[in-house]
Amino acid sequence: MKRNTKDVEASHRKMSRRALFLGGLQLAFAGGLAMRMRHLQVDQADQFRLLAEENRINIRLIPPARGQIYDRNGMILAQNSQSYRITIVPEDAGDVDAVIERLSRLLPLDPEDIERAKTEMRRSPPFLPITLADQISWDDISKVAVNAPALPGITPEVGLTRVYPQREDFAHVVGYVGPVSDYDLSKLTDPEPILRIPRFQIGKVGFEAKVETSLRGKAGAKRVEVNATGRVMRELDRREGEAGADMQLTIDAELQSYTQARLGSESASAVLIDCESGDVQAIASAPSFDPNLFVRGISVADYRMLTEDKYRPLANKTVQGVYPPGSTFKMITALAALEEGLIGTEETVWCPGHMEVSGRRFHCWKRAGHGHVDLNTSLKSSCDVYYYDLAIKVGIDKISAMAKRFGLGVRHDLPMSAVAKGLAPNRAWKSETYGQDWLVGDTVNASIGQGYMLASPLQLAVMTARLATGRSVEPRLVKSIDGVEQPGGAGEAMDINPNNLRTVRKGMYSVSNERRGTGYGSRIIAEGMRMAGKSGTSQVRNITAAERAAGVIRNEDLPWERRDHALFVAYAPYDKPKYATAVVVEHGGGGSKAAAPIARDVLLQALYGGTPPLEAYPTKDRSRIQAQQERLERERLKRDRGDDSEQA
């Protein structure tokens, strides 16, 4: 093709122009890119640097060590011990199912746990460890370690878990911890972030729950560098948390253990208070349970067994259980009358076995009657009619007020779950609650601790300590926090005529130390250790006239739920009160028969600081007592051995 040179020149010039134009455009665009780069990298650099740091740095909480709990002598009640768990990293395991199958041949795996772990695996990135089995024994851990080559991705991990070495003995006092549940979180308005750590344990029941905030401590934090998928690349720095406060309880673990064993398999409870300081040294509720079961996550079968037991092992009867105090209340009625000056110690009342009050017949427990009864005899023989007569003279409001001064119907603020307030009724209470007038019959019932009157074993123990000392003793459960001694509960002297108190105490002495006294069978004969007490038998049903006519049925012949509660309150030594105790055996029958021996044994154990010599017991009981001591010792030994073999 022929071309004219001039045309070629012209088109070349045009191309050059356009090339330069495009070149200029490109340069301008590059300039724009440079400006953008400057904008991002110079003007906004700080902001983006911050975003980059936010991307890569994660703050992880470090759970604090929970405060430990000790008894008054430093014996450990709740501790953090290393627990082993087996985790799997799916990414390292490769064939997860095959690895789990091999693992299950080495140690028992719960199919439920496996299912849960597999669900978790599907949700989380493959490099995150997932727990397959928790609370693994050291034996199983070593088995896994030996077989490590055949178990890719499986790692034994060490964590801290709560352990209660005293098991059943402190289940009701210390309570237990468990993993935070959604329900726990829903109760809090602004839950601490630490509570969202998986498997973080908090107090669920008892002391653990009540002083949760002090025991928990403060979480630490570490800053870690993570990659885009959340994998931790390295730790940048860490700030250690603050361990929770160590708590020392006023309870004597040895005595507590003895008391628990002494209550045996009855549905019963016992409280022992140091009269001088208010220290609760034993507070046992039977039957009990192993709190460690709850820490691990209790099985449905075990839990059902606990909830369906009619002896209610989960209830802490010492503070949650309220019972009509029965005759143990008579000291209060007597004091109310004495303080009002309505009776003299010499005055007697005629007890024919019953009393007519506004057309209704109120019976004495002794159908034949006590004859002429003075104050001392009324306590010793527990004559009911004497108190009917007294109460009508004093009136309910005075009796109720006196009850409250002795700690009945008043909530003692111990750090335990569901501490009951009990009830010391008066006129105002009845009209407020039922909109009814108080009747004389109500007063008559109240005078012997029946009717509306309700008290917990703890309240009865406090009442007894106040009677013994004349001071308003307050119960104390926490001896020291992180080594700092807590205020004691010795209390101020009560504004009560010492002579009147002495009169009542003498009556209680007669109960336990004089023939025909209701507690005479369970006395202490060691000089300087003698105890003063009062029995109580409280009805849980009304005895109808028809029943009475047919002859009162003996307790042994009734179904368990309808038998009377057996109560006994006591303190010792009589001359110089050291310990006060209250024992309640639910549906145990008579107080003097079912509760008094327990109260005596527990008091002696406390007074001697261990197994008491047989000389402290009446001669004819000694062989029986010796057998009992030996049996309890064997049982405790057996249980301790059981503990050891399980831990080994």
Partner 1 sequence: MSYLANNAQTVPTGLRKILYLNWPLTLLLASVAAVGFLMLYSVAGGSFSPWVEPQVKRFILGLAVMLVVAMVPIWFWRNISVLAYLASMVLLLAVEFFGTVGMGAQRWIDLGFMRLQPSELMKITLVMLLAAYYDWLPAEKCSRLQWVILPVIIIIVPTLLVLRQPDLGTSILLMAAGGGVMFLAGVHWAYFAAVIGAAVGLVAAVFKSRGTEWQLLKDYQFRRIDTFLDPSQDPLGAGYHITQSKIALGSGGWSGRGFMQGTQSRLNFLPEKHTDFIFTTLAEEFGFIGGITLLFIYLLVIVFCIATALATKDRFASLVTLGIAITFFLFFAVNMSMVMGLAPVVGVPLPMVSYGGSVMLVLMGAFGLVQSANIHRPR
Catalytic residue set = 327
Please state the closest distance from residue 124 (CB atom) to partner 1, in A: 17
Q: Which amino acid is at 218?
A: K
Asked if 60 and 75 count as a contact pair (C-beta separation under 8 A), the reply is no
DSSP per residue over 421-469, as a string?
--B---HHHHHHHHS----HHHHHHHHTT-TT-BB-HHHHHHHHHHHHH
Query: Tokens 């007294």, residue?
Result: 390
Q: Which is nearer to partner 1, 28 or 627 (CB)?
A: 28
Q: Minimal CA–CA distance to 535: which of 492, 590, 487, 581?
A: 590
Nearer residue to partner 1 within complex by CB, 11 or 626? 11
Burial annotation 94-108 (CB, 10 A radius, 16+ → b, else e): eebeebbeebeebbe
Backbone angles phi and psi of 533, in degrees to 5? -150, -175
Name the DSSP letter for residue 169. Answer: G
CB of 92 to partner 1, least distance (A): 19
CA distance 565 to 618: 26
Min CB(230)–partner 1 separation in Å: 10
By CB atoms closer than 10 A (0-12, 13-18, 19+), residue 155 is middle
* CA angle (134 as vertex; 130, 138 as ends), nearest 5: 120
Bond before 64 cis per omega within 30 degrees: no
Cβ closer to partner 1: 19 or 627? 19
For partner 1, the closer of residues 23 and 352 by Cβ is: 23
Q: Is 56 helix (H, G, I), strand (E, B) or coil?
A: helix
CA distance 209 to 282: 20
Cis peptide before 487 (omega within 30 of 0): no
Residue type, 48: F
Query: Smallest gap, in angstroms, from Cβ of residue 46 to partner 1?
Result: 8
Distance CA 583, CA 579 (A): 13
User: Closest distance between partner 1 and the C-beta of residue 38, in Å?
Assistant: 6
Q: Which of 51, 552 has the CB closer to partner 1? A: 51
> What SS3 class is residue 156?
strand
- For partner 1, give the closer residue by CB, 30 or 428: 30
Residues near partner 1 (CB under 8 A): 1, 3, 5, 7-8, 10-12, 14-16, 18-20, 22-23, 26-27, 29-30, 33-34, 36-38, 40-42, 44-45, 47-49, 51-53, 55-56, 225-229, 233
The minimum distance between CB 139 and partner 1, in angstroms, equals 41
Measured from the CB atom, is 43 or 644 closer to partner 1?
Answer: 43
